[in-house]
Amino acid sequence: MTTTRTAVTRISILMLALIIQALLSAAASAGDITQRQLLQRLDRNDAPLIVDVRRTDEFAAGHVPGARNIPHTEIAARLDELRDNMHKEVVVYCESGRRAAIAQGILEKAGFTKVLHLEGDMQSWRKRGLPYEE
Protein backbone atom coordinates (compact mmCIF):
# COMPACT_ATOMS: atom_id res chain seq x y z
CA MET A 1 0.00 0.00 0.00
CA THR A 2 2.83 2.42 0.82
CA THR A 3 4.40 1.80 -2.57
CA THR A 4 1.11 2.64 -4.29
CA ARG A 5 0.75 5.87 -2.29
CA THR A 6 4.32 6.85 -3.11
CA ALA A 7 3.72 6.23 -6.82
CA VAL A 8 0.46 8.22 -6.76
CA THR A 9 2.19 11.06 -4.90
CA ARG A 10 5.04 11.13 -7.42
CA ILE A 11 2.62 11.15 -10.35
CA SER A 12 0.58 13.92 -8.72
CA ILE A 13 3.70 16.02 -8.15
CA LEU A 14 4.84 15.44 -11.73
CA MET A 15 1.42 16.45 -13.11
CA LEU A 16 1.37 19.55 -10.93
CA ALA A 17 4.85 20.50 -12.14
CA LEU A 18 3.77 20.10 -15.77
CA ILE A 19 0.68 22.25 -15.21
CA ILE A 20 2.75 24.97 -13.52
CA GLN A 21 5.28 24.87 -16.36
CA ALA A 22 2.51 25.23 -18.95
CA LEU A 23 0.96 28.16 -17.08
CA LEU A 24 4.30 29.93 -16.76
CA SER A 25 5.00 29.41 -20.45
CA ALA A 26 1.60 30.82 -21.40
CA ALA A 27 2.11 33.83 -19.13
CA ALA A 28 5.52 34.55 -20.66
CA SER A 29 4.20 34.46 -24.21
CA ALA A 30 1.19 36.60 -23.28
CA GLY A 31 3.60 39.53 -22.96
CA ASP A 32 4.59 39.38 -26.63
CA ILE A 33 3.13 40.72 -29.83
CA THR A 34 4.18 39.25 -33.16
CA GLN A 35 5.43 41.37 -36.03
CA ARG A 36 2.45 40.25 -38.09
CA GLN A 37 0.01 41.29 -35.36
CA LEU A 38 1.62 44.71 -35.05
CA LEU A 39 1.64 45.22 -38.83
CA GLN A 40 -2.05 44.34 -38.99
CA ARG A 41 -2.79 46.83 -36.22
CA LEU A 42 -0.74 49.50 -38.03
CA ASP A 43 -2.65 48.82 -41.26
CA ARG A 44 -5.99 49.18 -39.44
CA ASN A 45 -4.85 52.40 -37.73
CA ASP A 46 -5.41 50.55 -34.46
CA ALA A 47 -1.81 50.41 -33.28
CA PRO A 48 -0.96 50.63 -29.60
CA LEU A 49 1.68 53.04 -28.35
CA ILE A 50 4.98 51.73 -29.74
CA VAL A 51 8.13 52.62 -27.83
CA ASP A 52 11.56 52.08 -29.34
CA VAL A 53 13.95 51.89 -26.40
CA ARG A 54 17.18 52.02 -28.43
CA ARG A 55 19.57 54.97 -28.47
CA THR A 56 18.49 58.04 -30.44
CA ASP A 57 21.06 57.39 -33.19
CA GLU A 58 19.72 53.85 -33.66
CA PHE A 59 16.17 55.19 -33.79
CA ALA A 60 17.17 57.80 -36.39
CA ALA A 61 18.66 55.06 -38.60
CA GLY A 62 15.25 53.35 -38.87
CA HIS A 63 12.34 52.40 -36.64
CA VAL A 64 8.92 50.77 -36.69
CA PRO A 65 6.37 53.17 -38.23
CA GLY A 66 4.79 55.39 -35.62
CA ALA A 67 7.22 54.42 -32.89
CA ARG A 68 8.26 56.86 -30.23
CA ASN A 69 11.86 56.90 -29.00
CA ILE A 70 12.58 56.73 -25.29
CA PRO A 71 15.94 55.04 -24.64
CA HIS A 72 15.73 52.31 -21.99
CA THR A 73 18.10 54.28 -19.77
CA GLU A 74 15.54 57.11 -19.67
CA ILE A 75 12.30 55.15 -19.24
CA ALA A 76 12.15 55.48 -15.45
CA ALA A 77 12.74 59.24 -15.58
CA ARG A 78 10.17 59.77 -18.36
CA LEU A 79 7.24 57.71 -17.02
CA ASP A 80 5.05 60.83 -16.88
CA GLU A 81 5.17 61.02 -20.69
CA LEU A 82 3.56 57.59 -20.85
CA ARG A 83 1.07 57.78 -17.95
CA ASP A 84 -1.94 58.19 -20.28
CA ASN A 85 -1.21 54.65 -21.46
CA MET A 86 -0.95 52.93 -18.06
CA HIS A 87 -3.92 50.66 -18.80
CA LYS A 88 -3.58 50.56 -22.58
CA GLU A 89 -1.30 48.42 -24.69
CA VAL A 90 2.28 49.63 -24.91
CA VAL A 91 4.66 47.79 -27.23
CA VAL A 92 8.38 48.00 -26.50
CA TYR A 93 11.27 46.87 -28.65
CA CYS A 94 15.00 47.40 -29.08
CA GLU A 95 17.58 45.85 -31.38
CA SER A 96 17.64 42.31 -30.05
CA GLY A 97 15.54 42.15 -26.88
CA ARG A 98 17.72 42.85 -23.84
CA ARG A 99 16.94 46.55 -23.49
CA ALA A 100 13.25 45.99 -24.26
CA ALA A 101 13.05 43.44 -21.44
CA ILE A 102 14.58 45.99 -19.05
CA ALA A 103 12.12 48.68 -20.19
CA GLN A 104 9.20 46.26 -19.93
CA GLY A 105 10.16 45.44 -16.35
CA ILE A 106 10.41 49.12 -15.41
CA LEU A 107 7.01 49.87 -16.93
CA GLU A 108 5.33 46.90 -15.28
CA LYS A 109 6.86 47.77 -11.91
CA ALA A 110 5.50 51.33 -12.35
CA GLY A 111 1.98 49.92 -12.78
CA PHE A 112 1.59 49.65 -16.55
CA THR A 113 -0.76 46.73 -17.08
CA LYS A 114 -0.50 45.87 -20.78
CA VAL A 115 3.16 46.03 -21.77
CA LEU A 116 3.98 43.88 -24.80
CA HIS A 117 7.37 43.02 -26.25
CA LEU A 118 7.70 42.98 -30.04
CA GLU A 119 8.89 39.50 -30.99
CA GLY A 120 12.22 39.57 -32.84
CA ASP A 121 12.75 43.27 -32.14
CA MET A 122 14.22 45.58 -34.80
CA GLN A 123 16.85 43.07 -35.86
CA SER A 124 14.22 40.66 -37.12
CA TRP A 125 12.00 43.48 -38.44
CA ARG A 126 14.81 44.61 -40.75
CA LYS A 127 15.77 41.08 -41.80
CA ARG A 128 12.19 40.43 -42.87
CA GLY A 129 12.18 43.61 -44.96
CA LEU A 130 9.25 45.10 -43.07
CA PRO A 131 8.45 48.81 -43.50
CA TYR A 132 10.26 51.30 -41.33
CA GLU A 133 10.62 55.03 -40.96
CA GLU A 134 13.81 57.08 -40.76
Q: In this structure, are residues 64 and 41 in contact, taking their beta carbons and an 8 Å threshold?
A: no
DSSP state of 65: T
Whether 94 sits among the annotated catalytic residues: the reply is: yes
Name the catalytic one among 67, 82, 92, 94.
94
Burial of 75 (0-12, 13-18, 19+ CB in 10 A): buried
Burial class for 126, CB neighbours closer than 10 Å (0-12, 13-18, 19+)? middle
Identify the three-state secondary structure at position 93: strand
Which sequence positions are flagged as catalytic? 94
